[in-house]
Amino acid sequence: MTTASFNPALAALGFSPGDRVVIFHADDLGMCEATVSGCADLFRAGTLGSASVMTPCAWAPAAADLARDLPDADLGVHLTLNSEWRAYRWAPVSTRDPGSGLIDPQGFMHASVEAVQAQADPAAARTELDAQVSRALDWGIEVSHVDAHMGAAAHPKFLQACLDAALPRGIVPMLPRLDEAGWRSHGLGEAEAAQMAALTRTLAARGVPLVDHLVMLPLHVGGDHLPLIEEILTGLPAGLTHFILHPARDTPELRAICGDWAGRVANHAAFLSPDFPAVLARSGVKTTTYRALQRTLREPA
């Protein structure tokens, strides 16, 4: 569970206790072309709040072009330590050294989160995560936040490196403010859960905005996702929710890459639906972005 107190970031943004506030957040921007055009559609429609860019991927430069074309689009960096698709792979930004533990025998990032967490050298991971944020900034992206692709970089082994890649630059790290029980429910052992709970308490005391809840639209099924969106939104508790979607246009490239392409296409279609505004209105939730949260970020002590 989350801590019981009203989220101070929401208070700073003028929300009230009891408000249910959502950041609609697109992951995997720049993974392939379909993600870039898909996110562009939603930003132009006004239904997407924020998105994060996978800077090691082939279409990340097109995401930087999107940032220039749509300067109001709120973008972050999707910190990436693994490369999960069988026939479409990417490699680290910072190194090609197998000794880093970041690279598999084929020269790409490890396919699984478990392999990353078992084999990656923490110092090499720190260098890589910093390089990914630096690349986005060098491309002219106004980075508001960072989050972790498939959670690989959010492991306690790498989390301080994520924070150090973000906070000194005035960038918000996406992190839930969970107590020990909440972290254990995410699969951490007692010692790691206590460590993470202490860290989130410290970050909150330093004025780092944190989210209360995480939800995600499914990727394993296509079809009409609007009823599911309405069900999720209606059931959200009070506080700030990071709402994950993976929007992409239906293209031959996407189908060739992703076994879960139908779910991504369904996410995209639902947020483009003319019925989406009514669903949002009926739910009673309010929305914000990471760019807004970034304005509440106090200089860390």
Tens digits of per-residue pLDDT, 250-298?
Answer: 999 999 999 999 999 999 999 999 999 999 999 999 999 999 999 998 7
Whether residue 18 lies inside any domain: the answer is yes
Whether residue 187 lies inside any domain: the answer is no
Predicted confidence band at 191 (pLDDT cuts at 50, 70, 90)? Answer: confident
What is the pLDDT averaged over residues 215-243?
96
Predicted confidence band at 192 (pLDDT cuts at 50, 70, 90)? Answer: confident
Mean pLDDT score of the chain, rounded to an integer?
A: 94
Residue 4, pLDDT score: 56
Tens digits of per-residue pLDDT, 60-116?
Answer: 999 999 999 999 999 999 999 999 999 999 999 999 999 999 999 999 999 999 999
The total domain count for the chain is 1
* pLDDT > 90? residue 182: no
Domain CATH code at residue 40: 3.20.20.370
Whether residue 161 lies inside any domain: the answer is yes
Higher pLDDT, 32 or 179: 32
Residue 189, pLDDT score: 85
Q: Quote the pTM value.
A: 0.95
What residue numbers bound the domain in which 244 lies?
A: 8-176+211-296
Residues facing 2 on adjacent strands: 178
| Residue of 276, 211, 274 lying closest to 244 (CA atoms) | 211
Whether residue 93 lies inside any domain: the answer is yes
Predicted confidence band at 2 (pLDDT cuts at 50, 70, 90)? Answer: very low
Residue 70, pLDDT score: 96
Whether residue 130 lies inside any domain: the answer is yes
Predicted confidence band at 3 (pLDDT cuts at 50, 70, 90)? Answer: very low
Whether residue 275 lies inside any domain: the answer is yes
Whether residue 159 lies inside any domain: the answer is yes
Question: Which three-class secondary structure string do you get for the chain?
Answer: CECCCCCHHHHHCCCCCCCEEEEEEEEEECCCHHHHHHHHHHHHHCCCCEEEECCCCCCHHHHHHHHHHCCCCEEEEEECCCCCCCCCCCCCCCCCCHHHCCECCCCCECCCHHHHHHHCCHHHHHHHHHHHHHHHHHCCCCEEEEEEHHHHHHCHHHHHHHHHHHHHHCCEECCECECHHHHHHCCCCHHHHHHHHHHHHHHHHCCCCCECEEEECCCCCCCCCHHHHHHHHHCCCCEEEEEEECCCCCCHHHHHHCCCHHHHHHHHHHHHCCCHHHHHHHHCCEECCHHHHHCCCCCCC
Whether residue 68 lies inside any domain: the answer is yes
